Chains A and B, each alone.
Chain A
Amino acid sequence: MNREGQVTLDSYRLAQYAVQVPCYICSGPNTFDAELCRNCSAPMALTYQAETQKVHPRILSCIGTSGVGKTVFLGMLMDMLSRQPDDMRLLARGAFSITLQQHTVAALARCEFPDKTPNEPERWNWVHCQIHQTRRRKPIELIMPDMAGEALIEEVDHPDTFPVIRSLLTKSAGVMILIDASTLSGGTSDQDYFTMKLLSYLLELVDDPKHGWHQRPVSLVFTKADESESCFENPLEFAQAHTPGMWRHCEERFQKHKYFAAGVAGACANVRRSDGKLGRVPLRIEPRGIVEPFRWLIEQVWS
């Protein structure tokens, strides 16, 4: 007795691996089912989402040294923009884009600062979002990574240690550089030196005189400004007084730059932990000056 049957050939699946998918951040080749880029460890979801858009997303970077408050700043910024029914609203694209906001808000609600961001890029939080503005018909597509400060300094000191940082900063349309105002007020000038290093690194990244970093917008944000009221009153004067090297660098080499002051915790306290070590905790959440640097950057990039 003969019977006819149909057998599905699965060999076509192998053909999918023959087509390489370039990473959106570093353009490195990946397989179609890769979760993270094998070259720079950026999530491949960014690439798949970008492919579905007519207009490719732009990258805005938030950089600064370790402990300056990048995670808190970005998490709070996302939280504020996603809630406020103002002229600027944020919509996260993809579940991974909400993790940063979720972790930050949950930690602050427990009167704690969020855990340190690890150095390993595959464990960073990434945000892919749409910014809706009332005066723009089409939303703006944005990618913002939350990088580790140690990784940034390591890359600046030893270029190509973190390929993802180099690719990100080369492609970024603008950058927010975070500077710790509380340590500056305490008379330490480390932040001035670190920021000058970052600014020099940016200038060396792109040689093109038309599209180099001296033409791209840079917002310089003094964080933890709640511990130094004079910083809130006049960030420019604060920069001239406490970070003269950085101020001179920006004046001479960056055409578009502006100083801001921001603070998330209204007040902080030192607590002694169970192991006897001191830790800093926020006593209340009182965000100030969080949206302004971002709004200025958006206006500069899409003007």
Chain B
Amino acid sequence: MAPIEQAIYASRRTDHATGYHLVVASEGVTDDDAHALSVWGPSHDSLVEASDEAESINFHPLPSGSYCISRTRRTGTEYSGRGDEVYTHCLVVPVEVLARFSNNPFALVRAVIADGRIEIREHTPRCLPGFALRGKASPVDRHLLEELVSELGREKMSSLIDESLQYDPLAIVTTRDARRLMEGLLNCLPLGHRPSFSFATGLKPSPRRPFRVQCLPKELKNLRQVLRHFESAVSDMASPQKPAGDGGWGHVVTSAIVEKRCYMLSEELRRSCDKHAEAHLQELTARLRQRLNETGDTRSDDQQENSFRKRRQGVSRVERCRSDSRRTRKRLEPSRPMLRGDAPHIASTTRAEPAASVDEDIYADPAQQLGQDRPELIEQLELLDDTVFEAIAGKPSALERLKTLWPQTLSALGMRNLEESREQYLRHARAVWDECAISDGVRNSEQSLAALSVISLLLDDCPK
């Protein structure tokens, strides 16, 4: 799985520069990409909104062929005390990973945030690792599209889609949530067109950041001057309704949304994933229109979803039955020794087990496995959790208790079952220790010592 690389562009004092620069990047970011990230990086006072919660999701191509998806936010006073720092976390996303998320940067950002990968770091980390991201996204979020069409009206939505395909660059002037609007617009575009739609949802326009689509709030102070200078076409969402072009892609897409047949749109978009040409768009428009006009298929999205759910329920029932029978069979079998990656193969005495059951053994949650047979072990794990976190927080009695509890639990459950918990404990202790060590003001030596004691205790009992 190709990893996602990351970088941070912010105003910091580092060994190689001061002020706004690429303060840290993971090893896989190429020099050309790093330079491009510096050029596109938004500096001081670049967010259009003045509130503390203001943010911008940005998307643009990179010289290596990957794409940059970044989130820009304010983080409070910058290092020299001259105004608020504008902090941008950049993700360098390979083409195949973006494709897995239907070329939708918003879906990918949501997955990365849920994975806890994007966070504002007050202290610049020494290194930033690349990471693999699982998951995928469907081409169309029908609920979002239905909401947008009902808020904006069919005509406006239709003309927005057509204008976005027609003009480069385009400024969308709006009084609404720019992020939702932009995501809705992307949902309406063919998958092959999406990567070419570089955009920013909340940055001030600049010639250094030639985004194809920029969202600007209607109340922006020098809006007219900005629009005039950047010579972009304007789609004003706050203006009175415009007549929609009849028969274009926008019209057909909004028809599918209004008629609640987004599944057709989704299916057609899936079929068209790698193509970009204008002729292809016409072909796609004609095909979708034809499907919408067909009298044979009159199902709505809800009906389609219900039948899909029924199919899924059927499949799950079958899977559940299969897994139950497997579990029963396993209980009847004698217990097997623990599998280690580096251990030699166990001599086979019976016929080989099906691959599915081995996978289940490796990937199943250890707590779930343990809890099925011995629920008291779950309680022991919970007690261990509480004790470790109290000890890291600096409670002396908890540390003493942990010195006996940890070896006991380790011998009872084995390192294989505790490995994941131990990793989380170490990560938390390390974060606490780092925070104490890097702190600008008063350093809490007691807490850092407690964190260090827990780390050494957890590592001492690690099998060599």
A residues sitting closer than 8 Å to B (CB atoms) are 35-36, 38, 41, 65-67, 113-123, 148-150, 153-154, 158, 161, 190, 271, 273, 275-281
Contacts and interface: CB of A to CB of B under 8 A. Distances in A.
Contacts of A122: 206-207, 229
Contacts of A277: 76-77, 81, 440
Contact of B208 (A120, A190, A271, A280): A120
20 contacts: A66-B80, A67-B19, A67-B82, A113-B82, A115-B45, A115-B82, A116-B19, A118-B46, A119-B20, A120-B46, A120-B206, A120-B207, A150-B19, A150-B43, A153-B21, A154-B21, A154-B38, A273-B76, A273-B81, A279-B77
A275 B76 contact: yes
A36 B46 CA distance: 18
A65 B11 CA distance: 13
Contact of B225 (A35, A38, A149): A35
A116 B82 contact: yes
A154 B18 CA distance: 11
B82 A161 contact: no
A277 B122 CA distance: 10
A275 B43 contact: no
Interface in B225-267: 225, 228-229
A153 B13 CA distance: 13
Interface string B63-83: 000000000000011101111
B444 to A, nearest CB: 15
A123 B43 CA distance: 11
Contacts of B77: 273, 275, 277, 279
Contacts of A278: 81, 440
B44 interface: yes
B17 interface: yes
Nearest to B41: A119
B276 interface: no
A158 B78 CA distance: 25
Interface string B273-287: 000000000000000
B39 interface: yes
Interface string B409-453: 000000000000000000000000000000010000000000000
Contact of A280 (B35, B76, B81): B81
Interface in B1-53: 11, 17-21, 35, 38-39, 41, 43-46
B43 A67 contact: no
A35 B228 contact: yes
Nearest to A41: B207
Nearest to B80: A67
A199 B82 CA distance: 27
A280 B83 CA distance: 11
Interface residues of B, number: 28
A67 B81 CA distance: 10
Across the A-B interface, give the 8 residue pairs with the lowest CB-CB distance, nearest first. A279-B81, A66-B19, A275-B76, A119-B43, A150-B19, A115-B83, A116-B44, A118-B44
B43 A120 contact: yes
Interface of B: 11, 17-21, 35, 38-39, 41, 43-46, 76-78, 80-83, 206-208, 225, 228-229, 440
B171 to A, nearest CB: 16
Contacts, number: 96
A224 to B, nearest CB: 12
Of A36, A154, A158, A281, chain B has the most CB atoms within 10 Å of the CB of A154
B11 A116 contact: yes
Given A115-B45, A118-B43, A161-B39, 7 more contacts: A35-B225, A38-B207, A66-B18, A66-B19, A115-B82, A120-B208, A158-B35
A250 to B, nearest CB: 22
A97 to B, nearest CB: 18
Nearest to B39: A161
A120 B47 CA distance: 13
Contacts of B19: 65-67, 116, 148-150, 153
A276 B11 CA distance: 17
A267 B447 CA distance: 37
B88 to A, nearest CB: 12
A108 to B, nearest CB: 13
B207 A150 contact: no
Contacts of B228: 35
A190 B82 CA distance: 20
B17, B18, B45, B228: residue with the most chain A Cβ atoms closer than 10 Å:
B18
A119 B39 CA distance: 9
A150 B21 contact: yes
Given A35-B229, A116-B78, A149 B83 contact: no
A41 B38 CA distance: 18
Nearest to A36: B229
Given A35-B228, A116-B44, A280 B80 contact: yes
Contacts of B43: 116, 118-120, 148, 150
A158 B21 CA distance: 13
B11 A161 contact: no
A148 to B, nearest CB: 7
Contacts of A279: 77, 80-82
B169 to A, nearest CB: 13
Nearest to B38: A154
A81 B261 CA distance: 71
Nearest to B31: A158
Report which residue of B80, B82, B83 has the largest number of chain A beta carbons within 10 angstroms of its beta carbon: B82
A275 B76 CA distance: 6
B45 A150 contact: no
Contacts of A118: 43-46
Contacts of A121: 208
Nearest to A191: B18
A115 B44 contact: yes
Nearest to B83: A115
A24 to B, nearest CB: 18
A233 to B, nearest CB: 27
A213 B225 CA distance: 38
A67 B18 contact: yes
A38 B18 CA distance: 28
- Residue from the set B11, B38, B78, B81 with the largest chain A CB neighbour count within 10 Å: B81
Contacts of A66: 17-20, 80
Contact of A116 (B35, B38, B80): B80
Nearest to B225: A35
A117 B78 CA distance: 13
B126 to A, nearest CB: 19
A35 B229 CA distance: 7
A280 B21 CA distance: 21
A120 B225 CA distance: 16
Interface centre among A150, A190, A271, A275 (most CB of B within 10 A): A150
Contacts of A280: 80-81
A255 B43 CA distance: 37
Contacts of B39: 161
Contacts of B80: 66-67, 116, 279-280
